[in-house]
Every structure is written in C-alpha cells, then in structure tokens.
Amino acid sequence: MRNKFNAIYQDLADKINHHNYPVDSYLPSETQLSELYGTSRETIRKALSELLTNGFIQKIRGKGSIVLNLQRFNFPVSGITSFKELNNSLHMNSTTEVLCLEDQHVPLEKFDYQSSSPLLATYVERLRKTNNEPIVLDHDYILKSVVPEISHKVAADSLYDYFENQLGLTISYATKKITVESPTKEEAQLLELNEHQDVVIVRSQTYLEDTTLFQFTESVHRPDKFSFVDFARRQKIN
C-alpha cells in the first residue's frame, strides 16, 4: 500500500500477530507512535481506528490502546471473501468442481429483489470440497451487463481474482442473509446429506464501488460444516 495509515495499520497488525506487541499489553501512545513513524497524530489515529474495528485492539481513554486476544477471529467469515482466498489463508486442502456454466436469468424471487426487467447472467454452479468432503454448493449469477463472459477455467479457479485483477473491477460491498431451509433433492445428494437434514443458505448481493449490482450468490452449506464467526461492536439503536 502507498497510504501511510494503511502501511502503519499493516505494520501494527503484523506485529500484533507475531506477538511483538503481546496480548494484554499496551501499544505505544499515539504521540509516541507518531514520532516512531514520523507522521502526524491524526494519521496514527486512522491506523488505530482500523485496528479497533477489526478487533485487534481496544482503546481506553486516559490509559492507552490494549492488544486483544482475538486472533482466532481474524479469518473473516463475515465480510466479503472468496473461497480461494479463505483456502489460501487457512491452508485448507480444498477443491472446486464446476458443475454448471451457462447463461440464465437471475431467479429474482429467491433474492427478494424487485426488477422491472429480467436480469441476464452467467450462472455458475460449483461444489466445494475440503479433504474430499462436500462442504458448500455455490450458485452464482454474474450479470452479463457487467461481465459479458466467464470461461470454465476462471470458474474453476477464482471469480474474484478474475474480476479484480483481470477486469479491473473493484468489489465494494454486499448484503447477506443467512437462513436454514430444506434442501432440494439435487442439493441433498451433492452434499451427501442424511434424510431430514436441513441446509444453511447464505444469499448475497454484491456491488461494485460505483454502486453497480453485479452478482447474486446462493451458497448452500452442509449444516454440520457451517460456522459463521463474527466480531461486533456495540451500537445503540436510536
């Protein structure tokens, strides 16, 4: 990164992960950090504010910034992260099998989405396995108006890598909804489910930085393999 505050954030995050700043200890004060990094205090505060929202530290007024013990929550299952990134980051032994790749209209009713006209998309169906066990079945609808074409090779590797690094798209935000439902027969068979076993479904809509909606995703998870980990800060309802 070429941003100062981002570089400082990275540096501090690394040092916390490597226990250069141990859990329960205090970081140097903001004034000290600004001298250390040769920058202004506000810039330091931007970096610290990132660490705060990501659960690395807690700031206590009059005392300092204390390192939290939440490393195990660092893999963002919340947030927007591709399966390949998770795989690399957690060093899982995972595979992806492309079951279907064709043009389809987005099933808008499934996503509670209103549109005056049908949305043409590339439909990708992929089965994710870890250690040869089926974990997730992903149904992706990528709007043709944004991404005209997707090759089989890209679908088997990583859609996000293709979007961001080949096409230069910037993925910005998403809405997600998690529910528990009965699987279709196809889903039950592919995920090797027992009878009467429900599945966890995560439906999301993903947007680019210019607010263009470009992707609908339905992820069908095996219930016994599903786990969603989150870090939240208290915010009062007004």
Partner DNA sequence: TAGTGGTCTAGACCACAGC
Partner DNA sequence: CTGTGGTCTAGACCACTAA
Site for DNA, rule CB under 7 A: 3-6, 26-27, 29-32, 38-43, 45-46, 48, 59-65
Contact range with a copy of itself by CB under 8 A, out of 28-36, 83-91, 125-133, 148-156:
83-91
Among 73, 107, 156, 218, contact with a copy of itself (rule: CB under 8 A): 73
Nearest distance from residue 200's CB to a copy of itself, in Å?
Answer: 6
Cβ–Cβ contacts within 10 Å for residue 45, how many? 16
Among 25, 110, 148, 228, contact with a copy of itself (rule: CB under 8 A): 228
Say which entry of DNA, a copy of itself, none residue 211 contacts (CB below 5 to 8 A, set by partner kind): a copy of itself
CB contact at 8 A, 141 and 217: yes
Say which entry of a copy of itself, DNA, none residue 144 contacts (CB below 5 to 8 A, set by partner kind): none
User: What single letter denotes the amino acid at residue 83?
Assistant: F
CB contact at 8 A, 17 and 60: no
Say which entry of DNA, a copy of itself, none residue 5 contacts (CB below 5 to 8 A, set by partner kind): DNA
User: 109, exposed or middle or buried, with CB in 10 Å at 0-12, 13-18, 19+?
Assistant: exposed
Among 58, 51, 68, smallest CA distance to 11 is for 51
Q: Which tokens sit at 4?
A: 């100062």
User: What single letter denotes the amino acid at residue 198?
Assistant: D
Among 64, 71, 80, 130, contact with a copy of itself (rule: CB under 8 A): 80
